[in-house]
Structure 1
Amino acid sequence: MATRTRRAPPKARTTSGPAFEVDAARLPPLGMPPAEFLRDYWQKRPLLVRNAFPGFVSPIQPEDLAGLACEEAALSRLVAHDAAHDRWMLRHGPFPEEMFPEMPDHDWTLLVQDVDKWDADVAALLAHFGFLPRWRIDDVMVSFAAPGGSVGAHVDQYDVFLLQAQGQRRWQIDASEAMGRTAPPLDFRDDVELRLLQRFNPTHDWVLGPGDMLYLPPGVPHHGVAVDACLTFSVGMRAPSAAELLGDFVDTLAADADDALRYRDPGLAPPKSPGEIDADAMERVVEALNLLRMNDPERLGDWFGRFITVYRSGGQVMPGEDARSRIEVEWDLQQGARLHRHPFSRMAWRKAKRGARLYVNGAGHALPARDAARIADNAVLDGPLYASLSEAGRDRVFELMREGHYHLDLRQDDE
């Protein structure tokens, strides 16, 4: 492997504000307390974290990623670039196994979404991001790039942590806005299927090696190119657009609306022009719409809890075939077995007027707050944790197991 390039500190260090680069060897993975990161960087300015994961060894290999990209249920893409003619090619999986040995040795990238749902070791990385609400984290996308491989200069509309897992990748970013300069132009090319920027003028240029991590807030232009064959893990956030929120919110309002709520005009006066929609009519339209407003915080919170645990769902949870009775399951838990949450099961909770609500893949369940927090916060329930739940909490866990949200692992703790 080539020696990692160590570039001079970026000129941006002379500008006001926190540094754009830190070394986290003594305080991984951020190089600072999480509260400081959230205050100074989160959705404000990019940050290169050297040694975010010191001595990092990738839990998967390129051939593992290629094998996953051949699966029907996996979401995969392949991007190739003809540098001589500046032409881009995008293909969607699943891909035939025989394709990869025939791929060229340069200028292409394989990307697979939701790898954390398929590989437990990749999923374990998310524990290091516990400084963020779990329901905000979407997935871990893994990309393999041959030397020169890239997906072009682009922007993401969500926060992302780019962890270098194998090999080296050169990252260029345009942090003009964070440096107090004019925001960069975000016009896209119209000659490619990908949303690539027409113009890209980087302010920072870094080469990342294994264990280094780049944080990017939404809207920061960036361009990554593989120096050698490399793997990059992208921890992306769930950030529904205002249009997505409004669309689902309106659908919920309409579905729950009383049909008796209608446009009314009891004070109607003879119109000057029968064909005119006058100002009084528009006031009554607003009044009719206001009847549907969700002013109740409980209803609003309930809607969002159901929405966010379904948003960008990567797969379905189906009931399993384990027919153990509850007595058997609880006995197994007492003997050291554990309940593991299904990878595609999304959970969150919130306090309610009475107790709390646990949200599981779009369904809401009333529970004591203590139970809801313990169930949502722990992807694995062991015997003591299960026993600490109230009867209502244990009832809910068993029902969730029946629905496929948990599977029982009978291996003992010391195995």
Structure 2
Amino acid sequence: MSTKKTPSRKVTAPKIEIDASRRPPLGMPPAVFLRDYWQKRPLLIRNAFPGFVSPIEPEDLAGLACEEAALSRLIAHDREHDTWQVRHGPFDEAEFPGMPDHDWTLLVQDVDKWDADVAEVLEAFDFLPRWRIDDVMVSFAAPGGSVGAHVDQYDVFLLQAHGHRRWQVDASPNPPLEFRHDVELKLLSEFTPTHEWMLGPGDMLYLPPGVPHHGIAEDACLTFSVGMRAPSAAELLGDFVDTLASGADESLRYRDPDLTPPRDAAEIDAVSMGRVVEALNALRMNDPDRLGDWFGRFITLYRSAGTVMADDAPFSADGVEQAFAGGATLMRHPFSRMAWRRATRGASLYVSGQTYALPVRDAQIIANGAVLDGADYTRLSNAGRACLAELLGAGHYQPIDDPDAHG
């Protein structure tokens, strides 16, 4: 009796380089990208933003780096001695014209909070939860400028905005991740790239957490880095425990009503440790709403770049209604972070660490409303309108009389 062999199906690994001209910015449906690449493997996306023109010039970035409230760094590399110098802003405008013509990089965090045109880039990343996106960091590098071979512990999209940058990536399964001990930066002591690409304007490189990479400016260039919010387990646990402890009932204590004479009075035995676990378990957040509210407050405050200041003259609900009736539009403060979650009853809206109980539709409208107009306002319930007045008074929105003047 003869047996026929069934041909084995070849499993083809996803490509590491694609052209997205026909389907920017990913070159594929978002669901395919999330399935095959997200937190799994790097991807070079040619023409992710076809014909991209940077909305910011190097001079603008230098000016922002001189602002007291901006988070900026200047990194210089001495190639002859392989030494690195890191300086933190704010910087003096007078020092930029005298900078060398090579081997230095200026990096500014949260540029999307300062420049509305840069913030528009984030609209292309609406295939990700908005609360996961952290900021757009913009770097200017003189020819040869770099921050060294390193790894990030979060997902990042590196969009080439101006000029050209050569990227090297180690996509091997278990790359060495030891750091150098002779520099202030967390640079890799060993780096062997498996891939190397030259990126021009509109090209983008996606890197999952933990992938070693090294970018070197081929000419004077600008790179936009869209990074994710990815708190470490230690950060989550620290804030979670603080929240538990702050609201803990003092009557919840270590108890041993079943105590028996110990074999050794100096020993902490297994039974005692079991009681310790019981005492800790008594503090657990078994209520999904309490747990969700903790995380909503935490993630809308995590790595906050700036503080939203309250208005000197808080708005009333009537004041908001009058503003909309006069044709005003409300624009959200760039440092205000919002998210929402379905709760046992209705929804919870989270705004920069604060919680507001609202109907689901109200929470959706406000959390998604970077700009709100009269039509949005009419869709809100009375509770939503009162909440909006409170947010406006707290500085989370600003009334704009001429919406066209703000794009």
TM-score by length of 1: 0.93
Q: Of 320, 332, 337, which aligns to 2:328?
A: 337
2:178 partner SS: coil
Gaps of 5+ in 2: 1-9
Instruction: Find the counterpart in structure 2 of residue 10 from structure 1.
Output: none
**Where in structure 2 are the equivalents of 1:202-351 lying within 5 Å?**
202-321=193-312, 326-351=317-342
**Where in structure 2 are the equivalents of 1:27-42 lying within 5 Å?**
27-42=23-38
Asked whether the 8 Å contact 2:164–2:198 carries over to 1, the reply is yes
Instruction: Name the CA distance, whole Å, in 2 between partners of 1:381 and 1:207.
Output: 41
Instruction: Name the CA distance, whole Å, in 1 between partners of 2:117 and 2:211.
Output: 29
Instruction: Find the counterpart in structure 2 of residue 100 from structure 1.
Output: 96
Asked whether the 8 Å contact 1:320–1:403 carries over to 2, the reply is yes
CA-CA distance at 1:323 after TM superposition: 6.1
Q: Of 366, 375, 378, which aligns to 1:387?
A: 378
1:158 partner SS: coil
CA-CA distance at 1:249 after TM superposition: 0.5
Instruction: Name the CA distance, whole Å, in 2 between partners of 1:407 and 1:55.
Output: 33
CA-CA distance at 1:321 after TM superposition: 4.5
1:101 partner SS: coil
Instruction: Name the CA distance, whole Å, in 2 between partners of 1:54 and 1:133.
Output: 24
Letter matched to residue 391 of structure 2: L
Instruction: Name the CA distance, whole Å, in 1 between partners of 2:15 and 2:179.
Output: 30
CA-CA distance at 1:328 after TM superposition: 4.3
Q: Of 57, 78, 91, which aligns to 2:74?
A: 78
TM-score by length of 2: 0.95
Letter matched to residue 369 of structure 2: N
Q: Deviations over 1:102-132 (max 9, x none)?
A: 1000000000000001001111111111000
**Where in structure 2 are the equivalents of 1:168-179 lying within 5 Å?**
168-177=164-173
Instruction: Name the CA distance, whole Å, in 1 between partners of 2:280 and 2:24.
Output: 51
CA-CA distance at 1:344 after TM superposition: 0.6
After superposing the two structures, state which structure 1 stretch, 53-62 or 264-273, moved more. Answer: 264-273
1:280 partner SS: helix
Letter matched to residue 222 of structure 1: H
Q: What is the CA RMSD across the aligned residues, in angstroms?
A: 1.5
Instruction: Find the counterpart in structure 1 of residue 153 from structure 2.
Output: 157
Asked whether the 8 Å contact 1:335–1:412 carries over to 2, the reply is no
CA-CA distance at 1:335 after TM superposition: 4.0
CA-CA distance at 1:325 after TM superposition: 5.3
CA-CA distance at 1:412 after TM superposition: 4.6
Q: Of 343, 347, 360, which aligns to 2:351?
A: 360
**How much identity, in percent, do the aligned residues show?**
73
Letter matched to residue 108 of structure 2: V
After superposing the two structures, state which structure 1 stretch, 188-197 or 315-324, moved more. Answer: 315-324
Letter matched to residue 21 of structure 1: E
Instruction: Find the counterpart in structure 1 of residue 107 from structure 2.
Output: 111
Instruction: Find the counterpart in structure 2 of residue 89 from structure 1.
Output: 85
CA-CA distance at 1:387 after TM superposition: 1.3
Q: Deviations over 1:10-32 (max 9, x none)?
A: xxxx9941101111111111111
Instruction: Name the CA distance, whole Å, in 1 between partners of 2:51 and 2:152.
Output: 28
CA-CA distance at 1:267 after TM superposition: 1.2
Q: Deviations over 1:19-55 (max 9, x none)?
A: 0111111111111111111111111111111111111
Asked whether the 8 Å contact 2:316–2:389 carries over to 1, the reply is no
The 3 A distance-change label for structure 1 pair 268 and 325 is closer
CA-CA distance at 1:327 after TM superposition: 3.4
CA-CA distance at 1:329 after TM superposition: 3.3
Instruction: Find the counterpart in structure 2 of residue 126 from structure 1.
Output: 122
The 3 A distance-change label for structure 1 pair 247 and 366 is same
2:97 partner SS: helix
Q: Deviations over 1:352-386 (max 9, x none)?
A: 00000000011111000111011111211111012
CA-CA distance at 1:276 after TM superposition: 1.0
Gaps of 5+ in 1: 1-13, 178-182
CA-CA distance at 1:284 after TM superposition: 0.9
